[in-house]
Structure 1
Amino acid sequence: MDFKSSDTITGPRSEDVLPDTAAAAVKIVIVGGFGVGKTTMVGSVSEIRPLTTEETMTKAGIGIDDDYGSASKTATTVAMDFGRITITDQLVLYLFGTPGQERFWFLWNGLFEGALGAVVLIDTRRLQVSFDVIGRLEERGVPFVVAVNEFPDAPRYPVEELRTALDLPQDVPIVQCDARTRASSRDTLMTLMQFLHSLATTASDTRS
């Protein structure tokens, strides 16, 4: 993300060990097109030093990669980002950020394996890059929420306009998010967990 200020962590916030009380660890993927803020989100919310696989962007990507924002963006994720956040004493989320460049999308299948849910980060200046991302999640049956990353110069649209543009069902949550901040990123993850809980509750009631 091309933001001047950020509270992305530069070092571990706690020892890289799970709390003794942890009873469940859940895999969550952070997906989206190139430059929508996936690495920023993982870094801002992770309680451990995030693992990143960013490489310097070179002229070799011209004509192949999405060059949106290339005037200020100098690196891109080529494999994944990884972080961790403790939601409660019993629940820990492992966060996997996917690469945004289309030529690295073949890695997504492995990252989706075992994922309980996903956050789709979108940039309202480039909604079209989200269509294939959402389609892939729907094909694999991975539940997701949509988070509108609040870039300063990005246009603002009513939620229902975004829902129509993205062709989303009414039950899929759409939230505003500032991926630079820990609190906003954590709130987005909490929305996802609440959505997953509602899906599980509905499925349980249907079986009863």
Structure 2
Amino acid sequence: MDRKSVKVVVAGGFGAGKTTLVGSVSEIPPLTTEEVLTRASVGVDDVTGVESKTSTTVALDFGRITITPDTVLYLFGTPGQDRFWFIWDELARGAVGAIVLIDTRRLEASFPAVDYFERRGIPFVAAVNRFFGDCPYSEEEIRSALELGPSVPLVWCDARDRSSSKQALIGLVRHALTRLPVGS
């Protein structure tokens, strides 16, 4: 059987819920590269707004979802800190698109991920993570703050919830399909 693979990147700022989203939808135990935050990260990792965070991704998260017997979706979660951005080019190579997780407690942490995928022309959806409760901002306020054009889908999700995370992935795949050349 000739299997097709589809690659999706899950990106966003430090503490936005990337590891959680990959883990919530993966059919296999996800590979994570979580390490404990230590005193060495003080002044390096900005934990403002996520003070209770005790670990961080230092390379990538990896998960898998079988879509059909011959199609498999591979999820690659990026690390969120600036010092690991050199990994993003490798993780994004060959991806059909990305989910950029948005933590409304720290909207500014989303800017680099949004910019990254816009500059490279990689389709993405902005997924507002309701991980932390109701979002105090409207869709228009979030779009304005992130300077998202009308062609970028904005979806709501809870990265802890498998069904919610699946809906964000479905939104991304639908969006990516609209960007394919006619006849593909």
TM-score tier (shorter): over 0.9
- Are 1:185 and 2:165 matched, yes or no? yes
Q: Kindly provide the amino acid, as one letter, of the partner of residue 166 in structure 1.
A: L
Q: Return the TM-score normalized by structure 2.
A: 0.93
Paired residue for 2:118, among 138, 141, 145?
138
CA distance in 2, matches of 1:70, 1:186: 25
Q: 1:15 maps to what in 2?
A: none
Bigger strand fraction: 2
Write the distance in 2 (CA, Å) between the matches of 1:177 and 1:46. 16
The alpha-carbon distance between structure 1 residues 172 and 187, as it changes in their structure 2 partners (threshold 3 A), is same
Is the 2:49–2:106 Cα contact (8 Å) retained in structure 1?
no
AA aligned to 1:159 is E
In structure 2, the residue corresponding to 1:163 is in which secondary structure? Answer: helix
Give the match's secondary structure for 2:132. Answer: coil
Unpaired runs of 5+ in structure 2?
A: none
Contact persistence 1:121–1:148 (CA under 8 A): yes
Larger Rg: 1
Tell me how far apart the structure 1 counterparts of residues 49 and 82 of structure 2 sit (CA, whole Å).
16
Deviation at 1:154, TM superposition (A): 5.8
Aligned residue pair count = 184
Corresponding residue for residue 150 of structure 2 = 170
Question: Which of 16, 21, 41 in structure 2 is aligned with 1:36?
Answer: 16
Equivalent residue letter for 1:161 = E
Deviation (angstroms), 1:87: 2.5
User: Which residue of structure 1 aligns with residue 131 of structure 2?
Assistant: 151
SS of the residue 2:8 aligns to? strand
2:33 corresponds to which residue?
53
Normalised to the residue count of structure 1, the TM-score between the two structures is: 0.83
Gaps of 5+ in 1: 1-19
Seq. identity, %: 57
Are 2:182 and 1:204 equivalent residues in the alignment? yes
Per-residue CA deviation, residues 64-120 of structure 1 (Å, 9 max, x unaligned), is 111235542111000000000123344321000000111111111111111110000
- How large is the Cα RMSD of the aligned pairs? 1.8
* Preserved contact between residue 65 and residue 103 of structure 1 (Cα < 8 Å): no
Task: Give, in whole Å, the separation in 2 of the partners of 1:73 and 1:169.
Answer: 31
**DSSP-derived class of the 1:127 partner:** helix
1:155 CA displacement: 3.8
